């Protein structure tokens, strides 16, 4: 897996990602403490609103930003967004009003919503070989999981010697180092596909390609499945561990650590698995496993209470399924878009996946508070399985890259069909300006 780090450009971008993630992890801890300083007992409401603003920014800003920035040099754009995020983090410790927190969080997360899809769409251009790109995706998954495990521990260690305001300084350093690593690379800028002139057309281009591609419609349903199971873990672990089991805050970290550990284990194993099996064969069963495990845990705890060891084992297995269902996503997006359209399609995935979380986060919290944990487990398990069934129906089992199709709307002399028999030919098929819809025979 580490062999891809021999590529200097990818190595620098991966370092930028890891350092920025650490800075973001410190920011999460610092925001919680800042909210408590400003709002006291109402800090939870403030932080919850800030997280909701984050999700809204992710859903709305990504596709819009891509429409305006697709023609810009990638390296300059990534550096500017890093610098803006560093500037926001530098200002945050000096605010004294809650509304200021909300405004700054929106600006920071809007920059993240513009940065992340562009960054993700750059990696397949740097690592065009499927084998290398698969390993890069697993490394990225490991980086996210390690950040979830290590950033809170690092923040706790730093707080023993510094005031929480200095955690924002760590975030600033993280974004500045990320910008420095990006500056040290030379990023490819593929020629964009021809685009309609209107802003609306450019804004929705990625979404239209996404929804016109059968495998990506299946991915959309899998996004919902992954977010439903993930929300159960992220939102209700603290309730299960402390309120139901009466255990300590450290045990909350242990439970979440088992979930992250399962995700990391799957990420390390996936490259070899994906060398042998197609994405659908891995992702759909992994999503189904999430739903089955949630329902099994609900059945085991119904009326009999929740056991600590059972919780840890369940969270470990959920982590494995979570990573297996999510990590190959980049491979699907790469297969499903021309190089010039990849930023738009990655932006569409970024927005749509976070829209699913925007639904399931509050659903998991509301159900947990109103009907109890066993019913919540069952409800989210059913939602997960329904989404997986939809994914299996939308994503054809026979999903080749090369598809024979007819261009009834093109003149036989058009360069695209030159040498073809009539206007029928075959090639790696993606929806673009010459291919407006998926061939019916492949659906």
Determine the Cα–Cα distance for residues 113 and 60; give it in Å rounded to an integer.
9
Q: Is the pLDDT of residue 133 over 60?
A: yes
44 lies in some domain:
yes
Per residue in 239-296, pLDDT (tens digit) is: 888 888 888 767 877 888 888 888 889 988 999 999 999 999 999 999 999 999 999 9
Confidence band of 442 (pLDDT split at 50, 70, 90): very low
- What does the pLDDT read at residue 189? 66
pLDDT mean over 435-442: 74
CA count, 13 A, side-chain hemisphere, 385: 12
| 208 in the same domain as 133 | no
| 28 in the same domain as 89 | yes
Confidence band of 197 (pLDDT split at 50, 70, 90): low
CA 373 from centroid of its chain's CA atoms: 26
- Spatial CA neighbour of 335 closest among 280, 406, 390, 264: 280
Q: Is the pLDDT of residue 418 over 80?
A: no
| 293 in the same domain as 241 | yes
Per residue in 12-67, pLDDT (tens digit) is: 998 998 888 888 878 877 887 787 788 776 665 676 677 778 888 888 877 777 76
| 240 in the same domain as 366 | yes
Q: Is the pLDDT of residue 159 over 80?
A: no
Mean of the per-residue pLDDT values of the chain: 84
pLDDT mean over 340-353: 85
197 lies in some domain:
no
- Spatial CA neighbour of 215 closest among 387, 345, 395, 335: 395
Which residues, 6 or more positions from 48, have their beta carbon under 8 angstroms from its beta carbon? Answer: none
- What does the pLDDT read at residue 191? 55
Q: Is 403 in a helix, a strand, or coil?
A: strand
- Spatial CA neighbour of 443 closest among 433, 432, 429: 429
- What does the pLDDT read at residue 143? 80
- Spatial CA neighbour of 175 closest among 69, 65, 57, 87: 87
Are 158 and 295 contacting, i.e. CB atoms less than 8 angstroms apart? no
Structure tokens at 438: 């998926």
| 409 in the same domain as 392 | no
- In the chain, the number of structural domains is 3
pLDDT mean over 368-396: 94
- What does the pLDDT read at residue 247? 82
| 354 in the same domain as 264 | yes
Confidence band of 443 (pLDDT split at 50, 70, 90): very low
Structure tokens at 137: 């995706």
- Domain termination residue (choose one: 158, 189, 220): 189
| 252 in the same domain as 183 | no
pLDDT mean over 153-171: 79
Structure tokens at 279: 């994405």
| 376 in the same domain as 249 | yes
Structure tokens at 236: 């209700």
| 182 in the same domain as 136 | yes
> Which CATH number belongs to the domain containing residue 115 in this structure?
1.20.1250.20
- Spatial CA neighbour of 388 closest among 293, 270, 285: 285
Confidence band of 389 (pLDDT split at 50, 70, 90): very high
- What does the pLDDT read at residue 175? 94
Per residue in 67-89, pLDDT (tens digit) is: 666 667 888 889 999 999 999 99
CA atoms 294, 275, 182, 173: torsion sign: positive
Domain ranges, residue 143: 1-189
- What does the pLDDT read at residue 404? 82
Confidence band of 217 (pLDDT split at 50, 70, 90): very high
Q: What does pTM read for this prediction?
A: 0.82
| 244 in the same domain as 371 | yes
């Amino acid at each position: 897996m580490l062999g891809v780090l021999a590529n200097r450009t990818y190595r620098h971008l991966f370092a930028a990602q890891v350092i920025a993630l650490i800075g973001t992890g410190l920011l999460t801890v610092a925001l919680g403490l800042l909210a408590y300083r400003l709002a006291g007992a109402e800090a939870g409401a403030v932080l919850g609103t800030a997280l909701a603003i984050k999700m809204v920014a992710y859903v709305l800003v990504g596709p819009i930003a891509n429409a305006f920035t697709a023609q810009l040099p990638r390296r300059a754009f990534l550096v500017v967004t890093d610098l803006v995020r560093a500037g926001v983090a530098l200002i945050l410790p000096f605010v004294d009003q809650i509304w200021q927190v909300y405004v700054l969080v929106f600006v920071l997360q809007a920059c993240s919503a513009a940065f992340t899809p562009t960054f993700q769409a750059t990696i397949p251009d740097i690592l065009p070989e499927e084998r290398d790109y698969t390993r890069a995706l697993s490394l990225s998954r490991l980086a996210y999981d390690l950040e979830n495990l290590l950033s809170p521990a690092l923040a706790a260690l730093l707080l023993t010697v510094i005031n929480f305001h200095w955690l924002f300084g760590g975030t600033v350093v993280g974004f500045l180092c990320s910008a420095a690593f990006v500056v040290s690379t030379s990023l490819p800028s593929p020629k964009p596909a021809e685009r309609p002139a209107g802003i609306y057309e450019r804004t929705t281009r990625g979404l239209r390609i996404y929804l016109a591609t059968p495998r990506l419609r299946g991915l959309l349903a899998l996004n919902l499945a992954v977010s439903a199971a993930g929300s159960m873990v992220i939102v209700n672990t603290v309730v299960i561990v402390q309120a139901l089991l009466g255990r300590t805050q450290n045990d909350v970290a242990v439970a979440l650590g088992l979930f992250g550990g399962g995700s990391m284990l799957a990420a390390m194993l996936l490259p070899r698995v994906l060398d042998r099996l197609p994405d659908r064969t891995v992702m759909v069963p992994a999503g189904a496993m999430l739903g089955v495990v949630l329902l099994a845990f609900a059945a085991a705890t119904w009326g009999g209470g929740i056991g600590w060891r059972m919780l840890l084992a369940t969270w470990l297995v959920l982590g494995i399924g979570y990573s297996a269902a999510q990590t190959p996503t980049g491979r699907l997006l790469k297969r499903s878009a021309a190089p010039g359209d990849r930023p738009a399609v990655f932006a569409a995935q970024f927005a749509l996946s976070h829209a699913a979380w925007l639904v399931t986060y509050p659903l998991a919290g509301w159900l947990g508070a109103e009907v109890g944990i066993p019913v919540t487990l069952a409800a989210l398990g059913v939602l997960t399985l329904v989404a997986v069934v939809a994914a299996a129906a939308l994503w054809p089992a026979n999903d080749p890259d090369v598809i024979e199709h007819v261009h009834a709307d093109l003149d036989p002399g058009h360069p695209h069909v030159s040498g073809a028999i009539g206007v029928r030919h075959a090639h790696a098929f993606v929806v673009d300006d010459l291919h407006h819809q998926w061939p019916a025979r492949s659906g």
